[in-house]
Chain A
Amino acid sequence: MTDAGYAYFSISDLAPSIESGEISPVALVQTTLDRIAAHNDTLCAYITVMTESALDEAHQAERQIAGGNYLGPLHGVPLAAKDLFATAGVRTTFGSPLYADWVPDHDAAAVERLRAAGAVIVGKTNLHELAYGGTSGNPHFGAVRNAFDPACHPGGSSGGSATAVAGGLAFGALGSDTGASIRQPAACCGIVGLKPTFGLVSKFGALPLCWTMDHVGPMTRTVADAAAMLQVLAGYDERDETSAERPVPDYGDGVNRGAGGVRIALVREFFFADCDAEISAAVEAAGAVFEGLGARVEEATIPDVEVSYAAGTIIMGSEGAAMHGADLRQRPELFSDEVRGLLTIGGLYPAADYVQAQRFRKTFAAAVEELFTHCDALIMPTSPVPATPIDDSPPEHGPLRYRNTVPFDVSGHPAISLPCGFTAKGLPIGLQIVGRAFGEAELLAIAAAYEGATDWHERHPKF
């Protein structure tokens, strides 16, 4: 992109200049809106652009900061929200005609918290229909395109958020992740995506695909920015039945700690099967980077990891069918063939298998946590396959796009994807790092150490 200006600055780089008054939130928001106006027709990243309210919020932020009431690193920063987070007075479509006219009277908890921290929400990002799919090829609101190659998909389901952040149309965004939907699009778009521990971030006001596996998290261009967003998003919310009541640590505390002495487990079994050769090589190279940083890298296996893929698929399908079953019966024409097929399959899983899949989760989560008595983090490819052309996406990629990520939606462990290379065709590759339950501070520190030793995150789309 040639009109980038501040567009690719990190939140952490911008914040001191916003606090000092050197950078105006109004100018920053206007620049972001200008970039959206210039590039959204190509990228299809946003469903709704909130021009008027964004400028109002920017003026308010500018007044507060000038008056000495600086709220922190998100104050005055233009962010985006996936269009399944309720926004008061602004339609929230879920990427589906079913919700095309739904205008909530409240903000989702995640939006509420970002606004309370002074962030400016510039728009609602496009997504895979009903957040159920990995390409964001939305037939109702347009196929989202990858900022690194607009002929290719950006991953999904939070594809609009990933493209907006990668393309400099927002400085960070909210995503949701049930099987892959924060991490896989982050990998496809060369950005950072963090799926926090289940229960750490409130899901209140986020339209559900799967009540027991949905997670809310940040999508940013750097690990430090993910830490800054998580700092605001994390914490107990009594409106979310699954919310965890526990103290929130300082997530930015360890981002300069390094990785010396850290024990990394490279998990080849299952996660490297059917993996694109360039992706395997990039993740193996990431292991070598950690060794160069003084970490100890060993191989590990995860017991019953293939069953976790099955359990996740059954739970997602069954709960998706429960969530949308009535509409599927009464208004089937409002679903795409693809999502109608997925939900129909979901309705075929026997109840007994759904119950067994939920029972499996308890033992699997314990087995994953047990691994952390021997190591501090697990690493593997985020996705075994890269983004592919929208018009020529291999059908066999469907089950692979969420294969490496869904185990940690099943177990609930925190997992982050960050850029670790590019294919020969110039498409990003993602490294997934998994940490202890509620161990986001340590996970972010390990991810930041890798990021600090590489320059993948400094490569931005050019068009």
Chain B
Amino acid sequence: MRILKWLVISQVFLIQIGCADKTAEESVPLPDTSYIVDSIAMPPGLSGEVGALAFLPSGKLIAAFRRGEVMKYDHENDEWSIFARGLHLPLGLLVRSESEVLVMQYPELTRLKDTDLDGEADVYETVTDDFGLGGNYHEFTYGPVEDKSGNLYIGLNSTSNGGVMMEELRGEINDDGLTEKGLYSAVPYRGWIMMLTPEGELLPFASGFRSPNGLGFDDQGRLWVTDNQGDWVGTSPLYHVEKGKFYGHPPSLAWTENWEGGRPMDKGVEFLDSLRTKAAVLFPHNVMANSPTEPVTVLTDEFGPFNGQLLIGEMNHQRIVRVMVEEVGGKLQGASVPFIDGGGLRKGNNRMVFGPDGALWVGQNASGWAGSSGIQRITFTGKMPVDIQNINITEDGFKLAFTTDMDKSALENPENYSVRSYFYAYHSKYGSDQMDLKDIEIKGVEVSEDGKEVRFGLSPMEKNRVYEIQLNNFQSVAGDSLSNNLICYTINELLE
């Protein structure tokens, strides 16, 4: 076993949550900082582009990188060691034990086992390769994530017209899944989320995905999947994924059982729109996120006041997004807000996992797109952030709860709220503009006695739209300004 020892020369960045004018310092957290971002020193020679990130039972980090390495990192002793090598674009890891992990690589899901316990895997066992490969660069594979019954879920990217399919490929070709423009699904189950049963059978689970670079279960057993803006995807969405449903990117429909034949694209937008399940949350492009990645659920109070909420990485900005969902009229919907925004966080936030230290570990990637590389760690200092704790739709507007007592005079002033709404078109074109953009009137503001909650009425309230809410001049009783002032709420259903 080769052990590499590298001194961590971590640059410590301070996130200015609630203290907009503090400068970064190399020191222990200031008392008025809620989250600290620091960088893990990477060993020389490693690309540092993170495809997967997980923790072993021992508390060591295990990470997969673009050039096929799986490395272990002992944070306590700042030691990197190699666990596996030579993999094809690994983009997911699921830990089974200290000596066994599942890794999702381009052509297959593989079980890596260190049977002689020398620290490095010696068995690379194929768990499933029962899906098509066109030999196209864009056929990334994601996951696996596991449900409570032991089923695993993986995501199969659609094939890109930015590349070609190889002459030799894996799986039968289905012409119905082809398109002239955009992404397509001409070999089995591209654009699907697949379920692998404990018995080893890989079954199609849900269709309509373009580039689902992010799968995760929440604390209620719901499967969340992000997708990327592009053809048929007006802006990047977060889907609550359920068996048998179709999420909007048409070519994958060609692999639906008993598909009637013909290209799904040719069936017309109206028909396709009637089949699809809409996103629970839309991330407005260039406003909230351009390329959202892995959803991770906060499972404790150790990371601040957001237990049960989802955190989602973003590739194109120095940002991690926080998501709050609720069920309205039988459908899930909700809002996104920036959680960490700059302050030393890099771009390319591709994979995230909570460590045994309670911190959020973030792995960065670019793979030729906007992004970066390396691993950073976000630690909660214990200082309560001044932030939106939750948002709920009301019959005539929204109700906001804050993490701390707020200055009521700012909350009470309707001029401090600026709201607009728009929708994203469902069409074959790449992305969508903000359609039918409207300025929304603020009708009445009601602040709770303790200043921790505010209800504000809006006109009009309409469904199938994003409400982009800007909060200006908000600050806590202690005088700290609101750490972020942007909320994007996706209304699928109104509260009757």
Report if A and B associate in a common complex.
Answer: no
